[in-house]
DNA sequence: GCAGTACCGTACCGTACGGTACACTGTCAA
DNA sequence: TTGACAGTGTACCGTACGGTACGGTACTGC
């Protein structure tokens, strides 16, 4: 479990993760590693946590010994897989030009849209399921890692946007953490839990666009400067 | 897996569950059953899905054979456990007297408070984790059942309140399903996922009260009749 | 007293899987 | 050519666990 980064061709020690969240880049893995990890991802989607290492080896045409040399043990493999997947996800950038209310709404909706697409994807659902079940048995740091790349990563990326909006006089709030909770709630609502619990999701493109737009609108009603909500 | 209700002293067939959600009452289980199921619950909290039937038998002072006679197989035991737990949870009633804006706010906050307490509890977290990991491996109907008792149950209970509010001219909305999503988001936000992923929760009494009140306030800003939000 | 039943405790079986050992293959540098 | 090395494939070990079988016990109704 400790040795899964022994191959480190790049990237720092994993303690960076908790603070920065960008500690593991795509370059941290060789092509061959990526092949194996992608096999693991597909197996996760197919069978959740119930895939065997033998299966991984068979489908990836590698030997168990190699797996253990590279990743230490099963947990190491899972953790590397989560990090590999996380390194592939890209988030929208902050708006470049002037920020008026309309540009802010656009930026918020764009974030929401990208986020909904991610958490509605088969991969994200599989990873979250796995991390959640591991968190229950307390048998690895998987939950912590998914937390770092998931909600925490989102919060880290949104905070500057919120504060920029406040600086421009477009938003009114005290605590950016609190604002994030509300934004999360408006965007994600109960859709993530439902998907995790196995409800057949209908995260199609149009639905996502629509939901994202509504969430951004409602958020502005609550925290927008000239709509006197009970914002605090 | 089919036989877990063979003992049925009361309660209808489990197809009631999907429609009504109250199909299994506390009376569906004998005292001895309840003892065993409570042991299972405590083991779930302690170890997630990774408890063995031997362990259950040891702690509950029963034999495996009895377990299999009662519940059919491991899944049957888990399902019965979820239903037993669900039968213990009670939700607040609708307000009895006149419904004005203040009473509505009270009722919403009360629902939110009770809900947050439930989903923040060790038991609920353990059950949700288990259901989610089972949904991933597609190995039982556990996810479906938790869904029925969780979000669906909540929606079923809230719908009349929303519609009463609309009838009284206190709320403005078209689709009660959509309103529920927003209410869920405002109340639960990212706290449930974070707890499921293992973040140490701080669901203490005061925090819950505060969050519930804020969620109810924000909900009224969005859908309250005389606060011209973008409600639809 | 006796049969029937429900249950407990425990020993046991089969299997699946994580992890290890080892022989074989291809590659590359000296 | 040869030797070091990384990786593959496979056989194997130990263990944990779901599920079954069975002997023993307490209670109930006749």
A200-224, pLDDT tens digit by residue?
988 999 999 999 999 999 999 999 9
Domain boundaries, chain A: 3-88, 101-223
Q: How do residues B18-42 score in pLDDT, each as one tens digit? A: 333 445 666 678 888 999 999 999 9
CA of residue B26 to C1' of nucleotide D17, angstroms: 30
Burial, B58: exposed, middle or buried (Cβ in 10 Å; 0-12, 13-18, 19+)? exposed
Question: What is the rounded average pLDDT of the residues B32-53?
Answer: 92
Q: d(Cα A35, Cα A8) in Å, to the nearest integer?
A: 17
Residue with the two structure tokens 């309660």: B11
Q: d(Cα A112, Cα A67) in Å, to the nearest integer?
A: 37
**Cβ-contact A26, A38 below 8 angstroms:** no
Secondary structure string (H, E, C) spanning A14-56: CCHHHHHCCCCCHHHCCHHHHHHHHHHHHHHHHHCCCCCHHHH
CA of residue A67 to C1' of nucleotide D8, angstroms: 11
Q: Kindly state the percentage of chain B with pLDDT values over 70.
A: 86
Asked if A88 has any chain B CB less than 8 Å from its own CB, the reply is no
Question: What is the rounded average pLDDT of the residues A59-72?
Answer: 92
Question: Tell me, what's the pLDDT at B107?
Answer: 95
Q: d(Cα A60, Cα A33) in Å, to the nearest integer?
A: 10
Q: How do residues B128-137 score in pLDDT, each as one tens digit? A: 999 999 998 8
A50 Cβ within 7 A of any nucleic strand C atom: yes
Q: Is the pLDDT of residue A5 over 80?
A: no
Average pLDDT across chain A, whole number: 86
- At residue B224, the 3 state secondary structure works out as strand
**Cβ-contact A129, B135 below 8 angstroms:** yes
Query: Among the residues of A74-175, which ranges form H helices?
Result: 74-88, 101-120, 122-137, 142-147, 153-167
Phi, psi angle pair for A13, to nearest 5°: -65, 155
**Cβ-contact A113, A212 below 8 angstroms:** yes
Is this model's pTM higher than 0.75 or not?
A: yes
- pLDDT interval class at A88 (50, 70, 90): confident
The alpha carbon torsion through B53, B59, B62, B63 (nearest 10 deg) reads 40
A101-223: what CATH class? mainly alpha
Asked if B50 has any chain A CB less than 8 Å from its own CB, the reply is yes
Chain A / chain B CB contacts < 8 angstroms:
154
The answer to whether B190 contacts A151, with C-beta atoms less than 8 Å apart, is yes
Q: How do residues B129-186 score in pLDDT, each as one tens digit? A: 999 999 988 778 899 999 999 999 999 999 999 999 999 999 999 999 999 999 999 9
The answer to whether B197 contacts A150, with C-beta atoms less than 8 Å apart, is yes
- Which residues of chain B make contact with A118, given a CB cutoff of 8 A? none
Q: d(Cα B50, Cα A136) in Å, to the nearest integer?
A: 9
**Cβ-contact A84, A37 below 8 angstroms:** yes
Question: Tell me, what's the pLDDT at B23?
Answer: 59
The B residues from 118 to 147 touching A (CB cutoff 8 Å) are 125-126, 128-133, 135-139, 143-144, 146-147
- At residue A10, the 3 state secondary structure works out as coil
Q: Which residues does residue A224 pair with via DSSP β-bridges, in sequence order? A: A171
- Per-residue b/e over A193-226, b at no fewer than 16 CB within 10 Å? bbbbbbbebebeeeebeebbbbbbbbbbbbbbee
**May I ask the CATH architecture of the domain B3-88?**
Orthogonal Bundle (1.10)
Angle at A164 between CA A160 and CA A169, to 5 degrees: 150
The answer to whether B193 contacts A193, with C-beta atoms less than 8 Å apart, is yes
Nucleotide nearest to B62 (CA to C1'): C8
């Amino acid at each position: 479990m400790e040795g899964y980064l022994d191959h480190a061709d790049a990237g720092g020690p994993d303690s960076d993760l908790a603070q920065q969240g960008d500690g593991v880049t795509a370059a941290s893995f060789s092509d061959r590693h990526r092949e194996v990890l992608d096999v693991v991802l597909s197996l996760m989607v197919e069978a959740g946590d119930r895939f065997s290492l033998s299966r991984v080896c068979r489908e990836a045409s590698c030997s168990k010994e190699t797996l253990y040399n590279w990743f230490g043990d099963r947990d190491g493999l899972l953790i590397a897989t989560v990090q590999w997947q996380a390194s592939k996800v890209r988030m929208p950038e902050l708006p470049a030009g002037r920020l008026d209310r309309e540009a802010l709404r656009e930026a918020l909706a764009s974030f929401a849209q990208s986020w909904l697409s991610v958490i509605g994807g088969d991969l994200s659902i599989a990873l979250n399921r796995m991390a959640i079940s591991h968190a229950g048995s307390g048998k690895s740091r998987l939950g912590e890692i998914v937390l770092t790349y998931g909600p925490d990563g989102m919060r880290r990326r949104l905070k500057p946007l919120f504060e920029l909006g406040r600086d421009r006089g477009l938003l009114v709030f005290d605590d950016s953490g609190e604002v994030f909770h509300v934004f999360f709630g408006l965007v994600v609502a109960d859709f993530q839990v439902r998907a995790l619990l196995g409800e057949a999701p209908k995260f199609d493109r149009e639905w996502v666009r629509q939901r994202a737009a509504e969430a951004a609108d409602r958020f502005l009603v609550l925290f927008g400067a000239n709509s006197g909500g009970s914002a605090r």
